[in-house]
Amino acid sequence: MRKIVSKIHLWISVPLGLVITITCFTGAMLVFEKEITAICTNNLSNVEAEGKAIPFEDIIAGVSQHLPAGVTVTGITVSPDPEEAYMVNISKPRKVALYVNQYTGDILGSNERLPFFKVMFRMHRWLMDAKPSEGLGIGRTVVGISTIGFVFILFSGIILWWPRNKKMLKRRLNIVSRLGWRRFLYDLHVTGGFYAALLLLAMSLTGLTWSFNWYRSGFYKILGVEMVNNNGNGNSKNKAITIEKSDSAFENKESKYALWEEVYFKVAAINPDFNSINISDGSVSVQSGNYGNTRAADRYYFDSETGDITSVKLYSESAPQNKLRGWIYSVHVGSWGGLFTRILYFLVAILGASLPLTGYYLWIKRIRRR
């Protein structure tokens, strides 16, 4: 039985090992993207608090003057930290926002993904292949197949690791470094792989939901969640909410951006512990970080003519499909347990990247010895 498992382990590992190494390594590089980007763009995202922030409409009017034809402002993101710059969302390019000093109105720069992380992300998802607009795409398919193979490799590795007696158990739980490189690399591959197997399985099984639609449907179904093709809202309904109209200084202004600011103050008063508030035409997204995943957000809807909040969709009451999507992402990247789990994920991903390389080394050594 062990010989058959050993053959399966080898036959899957040899052709897929390099792709697995690339996927694990690039995943490790993406773990601290946010912190590294913050350090690299510190001069853009940090401002000196100088009294009261200028009104939204003045900030957006200043930004609009510098936008090319066809590009418009779509929203604004505010942090509770007075020394963190506002981010003004624009329509093009996709997922790009501008850092703006809320005290002077100066545009500080854009929050585009750093070139290094663009490469790491494309390698991780598509092996530098173009993002497929339709279908799977070659890179996405290769990564998905390699990840499925990695799951079988991990399970077969656990079977091969399993000791026959207590004496062997003690040996299998230790990584010895004093008996030469070959023994160290063997222990790193066998014992290190066993220690990392659980988290590597979690990363692989959740990561496959981005590779294959059939897998995602099955994964959701196993967890008791039915997928609904309506943008992840499931059967959840907006909850009506009544908020007394405030005597805001912005009420008499006709600009829709002044109305945005009035709504922002209303929502911020309801959520004093928010991490960020993003407001756009007709809706407000509030992230508070209270749910164990970074994608959890409550959404408020308001009348674009009066600024009255008409309904709210709380994350805690959202459809199971919507919640599960956030948790899958959190488990995949390690954000569910804060900084500790992210450090752990980084180390495990680096170890995962080394497993095929140490496996190749041991395999070649064995061939040469024979």
At residue 236, the pLDDT reads: 47
- Residue 322 CA to residue 237 CA, distance in Å, equals 13
Look at residue 36 in the predicted model and tell me its pLDDT: 94
CB atoms within 10 A of CB 283: 16
pTM of the model: 0.85
Q: Does 133 have pLDDT greater than 90?
A: no
Instruction: Write the pLDDT tens digit of every residue in 229-248.
Output: 654 444 445 555 544 444 44
Q: Where are the alpha helices (DSSP H) in the chain?
A: 2-30, 33-40, 42-45, 56-64, 115-126, 138-161, 166-172, 181-187, 193-207, 213-222, 256-270, 320-333, 339-369
346 in Cβ contact with 32 (< 8 Å):
yes
State residue 138 phi and psi, 5-degree precision.
Answer: -65, -50
Q: Residue 290's pLDDT band (boundaries 50, 70, 90)? A: low
Q: Which DSSP category does 54 fall into?
A: P
What is the model's pLDDT at position 239? 55
Q: What is the mean pLDDT of the chain?
A: 88
Top-ranked range on mean pLDDT: pick from 20-34, 167-181, 301-315: 20-34
Question: Where does residue 334 fall: left (phi above 0), alpha (psi -120 to 50 degrees), or beta otherwise?
Answer: left
CA distances from 311 to 165, 241, 317 (A): 63, 5, 13
Least confident of 51-65, 67-81, 289-303: 289-303
Q: Which residues of 6-17 are buried (b: 16+ CB within 10 A; e: fewer)?
A: eebbeebbeebb
Confidence bin at 249 (pLDDT 50/70/90): very low
Tokens of 256: 């829709």
Q: Are 56 and 264 in contact (CB under 8 A)?
A: yes
- For residue 251, the model assigns a pLDDT of 43
Distances in whole angstroms, Cα of residue 3 to Cα of each of 10, 150, 369: 11, 19, 19
Could you state, in order of their start, the residue ranges of all structural domains in the chain?
2-33+116-226+334-369, 55-109, 239-317
